[in-house]
Amino acid sequence: MSMKARASHFPGKAGMPHSPHAQAGFTLLEILVAIVVLSLGLLGLAGLQAASLTNNQNAYYRSIATQQAYDMADRIRANLAGVAAGNYDALGTNTPADPACIHTVAACTAANVAVTDHSQWNTTNGRVLPNGQGSVDCVLGPGANCSNNLNAVRTFDITVQWTERTAGGNVAGTFVTRVTP
């Protein structure tokens, strides 16, 4: 038997032909690697989709908070008598519930309207935002006191707060706008 004939019985050596049976297992291995790579890519895509949904929800909450702040700004502008009397100077999250005069034919005072505005506004904040709440504070400048200076032009900081979801957990979202009626 010649050397050339004997070498054909040992497939896989350099310069020697490979048998079809040796290639069959390698093709299966290539397919398995391709499936693993594809599944990792799909997992990454699912993670990006989840992050996108979370960010989209948080953007929606910021949009609602902006609308809510401007709603209160409009309420303040509609009750200039309440502004002049200082009724909006410090409406915090613990402002009492709305007065009964809003639901009867009796006329409400400017102070009643201010308290009702804040109560209705904060009720809506709690309904449309997770842990939503808001406050209104009069600001005249550093060291100024709004309640002692009723003739001053009042400027208000309207603050809306809520809870945002992030990858690291829940964080406080805050939107503040300043309005001069």
pLDDT score of 41: 92
State the pLDDT confidence band at 29, using cuts at 50, 70 and 90.
confident
Whether 15 is covered by a domain: the verdict is no
Contacts for 167 with CB less than 8 Å, ≥ 6 apart: 51, 54
Q: Is the pTM of this model over 0.75?
A: no
Domain of 34, in residue numbers: 25-179
Per-residue pLDDT tens digits for 156-171 = 999 999 998 876 778 8
Q: What is the mean pLDDT of residues 59-87?
A: 92
Comparing 25 with 70, which gets the higher pLDDT?
Answer: 70
State the pLDDT confidence band at 68, using cuts at 50, 70 and 90.
very high
Whether 89 is covered by a domain: the verdict is yes
Whether 174 is covered by a domain: the verdict is yes
Q: What is the mean pLDDT of residues 122-145?
A: 84
Sign of CA dihedral 135, 139, 144, 147: negative
Place of tokens 């070498």: 7
Whether 2 is covered by a domain: the verdict is no
Closest listed residue to residue 132, CA positions, set 35, 36, 61, 83: 61
Whether 13 is covered by a domain: the verdict is no
Sign of CA dihedral 92, 97, 103, 105: negative
Q: How many domains does the chain have?
A: 1
Rounded to an integer, what distance in angstroms lies between the CA atom of residue 178 and that of residue 175?
Answer: 10
Comparing 82 with 96, which gets the higher pLDDT?
Answer: 82
State the pLDDT confidence band at 24, using cuts at 50, 70 and 90.
low
pLDDT score of 67: 97
Per-residue pLDDT tens digits for 35-64 = 999 999 999 999 888 878 878 888 899 999
Map residue 164 onto helix, strand or coil: strand
- When the pLDDT of each residue in the chain is averaged and rounded to a whole number, the result is 81
